[in-house]
Amino acid sequence: MLTARHSNKLMKRATITSLFYQAAQIAAMVLTGGAASIGMYYALQYGFYGLELVLDLKLLGVSRDYELEADQLGAQYAWNAGYDPGGFVRFFDKMATKKGYVNGVSWFRTHPPFYQRMVQSEREIMFLQPKPEAITQTSAFEQMKKDLAPVVAKAEKEEMGKPSLLITHEEGCEPAKKLEYRPDQPIEELCSSLPLITQRGSAQK
């Protein structure tokens, strides 16, 4: 995000990480006397691979933190502009339930899972003063959706039956009613299944 200078910060961290990795390689070669034997050679190589993996995972963690910060700022900007910031939660819910990706936590992902982004966005919205006149819909947006409908239908028809690595769901989820959670409730409990913000109580009755 431009405001938080995420790209600039990430580039600086990547540069520092690269310099640290190269310095560690030189130090290891000096302290061990180099690859004097085949065993030492493999030990050094595997050690370097492990160090590189750890540093890369560290950068991915920073990237996920930046995404959450961008979500927080985005909700604030929407609120300041007079729009309903709850659209962030509905957007993430639609992405998670319809597409089905980023369902869980992983060190190897650049983005946090959707359930975490939904909960963090909702917590940010709780601190914003409600605006009765907040914009939730416009005629221009409705017209845009109508214009895009045939384009989306055509694209989905063309993609039907083609191989894909994307995990999708056969059936959609119920429309979100509201996000219910306790302040002390672990985030993981909110995503035991993807339709996490539907009213579970009514489904159990």
Is the pLDDT confidence value at 107 over 60? no
Which burial class, exposed, middle or buried, applies to 88 when counting CB atoms under 10 A from its CB (0-12, 13-18, 19+)? Answer: buried
DSSP 138-205: -HHHHHHHHHHHHHHHHHHHHHTT---S----SSPPPPP------TTS-GGGGGSSS-TTS-HHHHH-
Provide the number of structural domains found in the chain.
2
Residues 144 and 173 in one domain: yes
Describe the chain by its helix, strand, coil percentages, rounded to 5. 60, 0, 35
Residues 95 and 52 in one domain: no
State the pLDDT confidence band at 128, using cuts at 50, 70 and 90.
Answer: confident
Residues 6+ apart with CB under 8 A from 70: 1, 4, 6
Residues 150 and 192 in one domain: yes
Is the pLDDT confidence value at 75 over 70? yes
The pLDDT value recorded for residue 131 is 74
Mean pLDDT, rounded, of the chain: 66
Is the pLDDT confidence value at 154 over 80? yes
Q: What number of other Cβ atoms are within 10 A of residue 11's Cβ?
A: 11
| Mean pLDDT, rounded, for 14-37 | 66
Question: Is 68 a member of any domain?
Answer: no
Residues 58 and 142 in one domain: no
Residues 52 and 127 in one domain: no
Residues 95 and 175 in one domain: yes
Residues 17 and 56 in one domain: yes
Residues 110 and 153 in one domain: yes
Residues 58 and 89 in one domain: no
The pLDDT value recorded for residue 76 is 84
The pLDDT value recorded for residue 181 is 53
Residues 117 and 145 in one domain: yes
Residues 94 and 52 in one domain: no
Residues 87 and 58 in one domain: no
In angstroms, the CA 117 to CA 153 distance is: 28
CA 46 vs. chain centroid, Å, equals 31
Domain that holds residue 124: 82-158+167-205
In angstroms, the CA 75 to CA 88 distance is: 7
**Lowest pLDDT segment from 90-94, 98-102, 124-128:** 98-102
Q: What is the DSSP letter of 129?
A: P
